[in-house]
Amino acid sequence: MYQRSLIRFSIYPEPPDSQLTAGRRIIAGVNAFTELGDTMRRDTFLKSLAALAATGSLPLSAFAAANVKMMIPANPGGGWDTTGRALGKAMSDAKVADTVTYDNKGGAAGALGLAQFVNGSKGDPNALMVMGSVMLGGIITGKPPVNLSQATPVARLTTEYNVFVLPANSPLKTMKDVVEQLKKDPGSVKWGGGSRGSTEHIAAAMIAQRVGADPSKINYVAFRGGGEATAAILGGNVTVGGSGYSEFAPYIADGKMKAIGVTSAQRLPGINVPTLKEQGIDVEIGNWRGVYGAPGITPEQRKALTDMVLTALKSPSWAEALKKNDWTPAVISGDAFAKFVDDDFASLRAIMTKSGMV
């Protein structure tokens, strides 16, 4: 009687219309143990479940907490926020997570959120943090007390190129106009974008260097989130704005911003905006985004978390997010992702040093 009931709760497939996750099926089995009679103790029942998991009869994910906690180290409205919430929705839709909660903590190119994540999520196998090249640049320029190496690399998700825009009522009309003003007086061109060390900040310094202006004298205004930067551009409070194309696309389409250059090697598909290179400015830089896990998780927990993310990336929900935001898939995970981050950190440091940023 006990054995037959145990097997039914743990490994028999659910009906097609069932919405129960593996975790809920296990909980259902635990709650139903009293119906099995008094012949076995509860601890023996749980040990039996663990034995089944160890032999592969049950997925390890069945024992993971149902709630994924997503740290978004930026204010609402920007690229990290959009990425984190799109990933969370994909994880829910793919049924690898019962619920996903979000915590926005903006500032210092993600360093404030990183500190909270590192100090508050140790050993949590269901914690994720959105990050990317912007965070690497912020660490290089800001030298925060916490380091990305304290967290656990999970996966790179996407890459996106930046676009530079002018407010619709700007007296400047083209990137050529911006460059001419930059050469006359670097400080008179107010660049607006993400935190110091962001890809648009690095690109602005590279532009100055390539056209013969002093990159150390550029006037860069850092905003804590994409929403703040957008408001500053629409209000004419900056000369030039920079961010991922998806963040400005609606305003470009409505004529509220004028796109004057993208940082890709070739024009972006379906987007009629010239590259910096075709305008004679040898600058190319991309903005990738990924996720890290908490410090101190085990290799098995890291693999389970990575598998959850990779499963979500195959969902229709994620495919829809890619299309909607014009993101380019750039998925790598595990040790390959860790090596990529190390290599990109070294490359960005070299670029920023050469451009006078550090």
Q: Do domains 67-158+293-354 and 160-286 have the same CATH topology?
A: yes
Q: Which residue has the tokens 């994540």?
A: 117
Which residues lie closer than 8 Å to 48 by C-beta, 6 or more apart? 6
Asked whether the predicted pLDDT for residue 47 surpasses 50, the reply is: no
What is the pLDDT confidence band of residue 326, given thresholds at 50, 70 and 90? Answer: confident
What is the pLDDT confidence band of residue 275, given thresholds at 50, 70 and 90? Answer: very high
Percent of the chain with pLDDT over 70: 81
Q: How far is CA 357 from the centre of its chain?
A: 24
Note the CATH number of domain 160-286: 3.40.190.10
Sorted by where each begins, the domain ranges of the chain are 2-62, 67-158+293-354, 160-286
Contact 6, 47 (CB under 8 A): no
Average pLDDT, the chain: 84
Task: Compute CA distances 27 → 30, 33, 60, 64, 122, whole Å.
Answer: 5, 10, 14, 11, 25
Contact 106, 71 (CB under 8 A): no
Q: Where is 243: in which H helix or E strand?
A: strand 240-244
At 66 the pLDDT is: 61
At 225 the pLDDT is: 67
What are the pLDDT digits (tens) for 292-321? 999 999 999 999 999 999 999 999 999 999
Structure tokens at 163: 């676009």
Whole-number Å distance between alpha carbons of 74 and 101:
15
Name the more confident of 128 and 225: 128
What's phi and psi for 161, nearest 5 deg?
A: -95, 155
What are the pLDDT digits (tens) for 156-166? 999 999 999 99
Whole-number Å distance between alpha carbons of 358 and 356:
6
State the CB neighbour count (10 A cutoff) for residue 65: 14
Whole-number Å distance between alpha carbons of 135 and 139:
6
Whole-number Å distance between alpha carbons of 305 and 122:
14
Note the CATH number of domain 67-158+293-354: 3.40.190.150
pTM of the model: 0.72
